[in-house]
């Protein structure tokens, strides 16, 4: 199974958040790679990753970062592979800094920005799955089942427990 999704993050400290994207991809049987690629600390690594993304067969890049979160936007500037951005929650500003850093891209270099934190990372995995499912019927069926299972797990009425 070839790797079609790259999960990249600015720091090891982002992994507890970003692994929520990996979990979704595991559940849906999608092959992926995980890399630490920092816009500020390893800019050459970022450039190389973006430069080779198409030729390496990546179809979606999930990029998570916190604070002055330039990684998703810079990656979008370097490759036409769709970038899904995950704002990592921060201590100082609760991730609003990350969100605004990722969200407000100038025309021409889009980043599909998710919610702050774990839910955003999980949704990034689902967004990647949805993109890949447009050209993969077997994956589309698995994603439809995943969504139906989630829907079926929601109780009709609340309980006290
Ligand atoms: C960002 O700075 C990373 O994406 C991370 O969210 C944040 C803090 O990084 P560490 O100081 O924990 O390595 O570049």
The 3-state DSSP composition of the chain as helix, strand, coil percent (nearest 5) reads 45, 15, 40
CA of 68 to the centre of ligand 1 (A): 9
Q: How far is CA 30 from CA 52, 55, 65, 92, in A?
A: 20, 19, 22, 35
ipTM of this predicted structure: 0.96
Mutate to test the pocket of ligand 1, among 7, 8, 12, 13 (most ligand atoms within 8 A of CB): 13
Mind listing the pLDDT tens digit for each residue in 95-135?
A: 999 999 999 999 999 999 999 999 999 999 999 999 999 99
Q: Which residues, in sequence order, are bridge partners of residue 112?
A: 84
pLDDT at site 141: 98
Query: End-to-end distance of the chain based on CA atoms, in angstroms?
Result: 43
Domain 5-140 indexed as CATH 3.40.50.1970: yes
Q: How confident is the model at residue 155 (pLDDT cuts 50, 70, 90)?
A: very high
pLDDT at site 161: 81
Query: Cα separation of 143 and 89, whole Å?
Result: 27
Do the Cβ atoms of 36 and 8 come closer than 8 Å?
yes
pLDDT at site 32: 98
66 lines ligand 1 (CB under 6 A): yes
Mind listing the pLDDT tens digit for each residue in 46-99?
A: 999 999 999 999 999 999 999 999 999 999 999 999 999 999 999 999 999 999
Given a cut of 90, whether residue 1 has pLDDT beyond it is no
Query: Cα separation of 56 and 87, whole Å?
Result: 26
10 lines ligand 1 (CB under 6 A): yes
Per DSSP (E only), the strands in the chain are 5-9, 32-36, 60-66, 83-88, 112-113
Q: What is the mean pLDDT of residues 14-22?
A: 98
Q: How confident is the model at residue 15 (pLDDT cuts 50, 70, 90)?
A: very high
CA of 66 to the centre of ligand 1 (A): 6
Q: What is the mean pLDDT of residues 15-33?
A: 98
Domain ranges of the chain: 5-140
């Amino acid at each position: 199974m070839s790797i079609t999704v790259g999960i990249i993050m600015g720091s090891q400290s982002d992994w507890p958040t970003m692994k929520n994207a990996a979990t979704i991809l595991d559940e849906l049987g999608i092959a992926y790679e995980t890399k630490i690629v920092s816009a500020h600390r390893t800019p050459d690594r970022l450039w190389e990753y973006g430069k080779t993304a198409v030729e390496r067969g990546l179809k979606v890049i999930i990029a998570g970062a916190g604070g002055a979160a330039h990684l998703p936007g810079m990656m979008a500037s370097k490759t036409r592979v769709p970038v899904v951005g995950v704002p990592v929650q921060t201590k100082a500003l609760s991730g609003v800094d990350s969100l605004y850093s990722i969200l407000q891209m100038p025309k021409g270099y889009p980043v599909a920005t998710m919610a702050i934190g774990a839910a955003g990372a999980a949704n990034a995995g689902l967004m990647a799955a949805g993109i890949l499912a447009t050209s993969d019927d077997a994956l589309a069926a698995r994603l439809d089942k995943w969504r139906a299972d989630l829907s079926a797990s929601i109780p009709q009425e609340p309980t006290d427990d």
